[in-house]
Amino acid sequence: MFDLATRRIIGATILTLATVITIGMVWLTEEQRMARFEAMHKAKAIENGALLYEQYCSTCHGPNGEGVPGKGPDLNPGVFQHYEALKQNQNYANSLRNFIKLTIAAGRPIRSTYRANEVYADPMPTWSQDFGGPLRPDQIDSLVEFILNWQTAGPAPTPTPAFEAVGTDLTKPLPPGDPKRGEALWNQEVKQASGAAASCKACHSLKPGEVLVGPSLAGIATRAAERIRAPDYRGQAKTPEEYIRESIQQPNAYIVEPDKYAAAPGVSKMPATLGNQMSAQDLADLIAFLMTLK
């Protein structure tokens, strides 16, 4: 139909047009594409952050950022409230993102006073490789994206069951304890009345002599009986059961080996808020379990 030269001209024209049209199409949609990619990469950062959080953070801050008494404060909504408080009370001038990033990367050199009445066994360690931690800078950024996502999403609705906490009241009568359920509480197989798992085993081992943060509880029943007869004992307990109860509800009443187990003079490493999580039944069951550790 056409000679070779004409066919070549037609072919070249079509191909050039196709290329130009393609570039034009890319041009027109480039803004949306970049926005889409940005959202996608942020989503991937959040996903990676979630995996890292599960691996490194959830043992102290809880799987859903609800905190673990004695180990780490709640992040959702704690970290956001804490940041607002810092801004208002101490003229803290950094951004929320940087506040979180710096806290993760460089850790907390001193123990936080993050929540009133809470004392944490150890300060936040450094996490960034820049400060001797295990995580790369991009992993820190992913974690920050994950934590910030709580705020953009709003605090997750966690229904809190209504219950009467034992608190620090030592006079409240306890029902008879079930050592089986106490053991299940210890092993975090059943939850406390507050809906959170009991965090005892995070700091106390059941192996004789093993010190995680607090002393090993192996043989605690026998030891409790000795403690109340010790000359320096200043508490009110008359029986081993009462001693254990006092230690849980009012850990500052008597601190064994303060050099080792006190966070500050007169303040035990053991948090004083554990009773807020427990019903009288929880406490009785735990005591019954601990009394089996002769």
Please identify which residue in 48, 59, 188, 205 interacts with other proteins, judged by CB under 8 A: 48
* Shortest CB 7 distance to other proteins, Å: 10
Decide whether 39 or 230 has the Cβ nearer to other proteins: 39
Decide whether 2 or 27 has the Cβ nearer to other proteins: 27
For the chain, the DSSP string reads: ---HHHHHHHHHHHHHHHHHHHHHHHHHHHHHHHHHHHHHHHHHHHHHHHHHIIIIIHHHH-TTS--BTTTB---TTHHHHHHHHHHHHH---S-HHHHHHHHHHH--SS----STT---SSPPPP-BGGGT-SB-HHHHHHHHHHHHHHHHH-----PPPP----TT-S-SPPPPP-HHHHHHHHTTSS--TTSSPP-HHHHB-SSTT-BSSS---TTHHHHHHHHTTSTT--S---SHHHHHHHHHH-TTS--SSHHHHEEETTEESS-TTGGGG--HHHHHHHHHHHHT--
Answer yes or no whether residue 208 interacts with other proteins by CB under 8 A.
Answer: no
* Shortest CB 67 distance to other proteins, Å: 16
* Shortest CB 12 distance to other proteins, Å: 5
* Shortest CB 198 distance to other proteins, Å: 22
Answer yes or no whether residue 264 interacts with other proteins by CB under 8 A.
Answer: no
Answer yes or no whether residue 212 interacts with other proteins by CB under 8 A.
Answer: no
* Shortest CB 33 distance to other proteins, Å: 7
Binding mask 11-40 for other proteins (x = CB under 8 A): xx--xx-xx--xx-xxx--x--xx-xxxxx
Decide whether 67 or 275 has the Cβ nearer to other proteins: 67
Distance CA 31, CA 29 (A): 6
Please identify which residue in 32, 89, 110, 154 interacts with other proteins, judged by CB under 8 A: 154
Answer yes or no whether residue 10 interacts with other proteins by CB under 8 A.
Answer: no
Residues 125-144 that bind other proteins (CB under 8 A): 136-139
Residues of the shown chain interacting with other proteins in the complex, contacts defined by CB under 8 A = 5, 8, 11-12, 15-16, 18-19, 22-23, 25-27, 30, 33-34, 36-44, 46-48, 50-51, 54, 64, 136-139, 146, 149-150, 153-154, 156
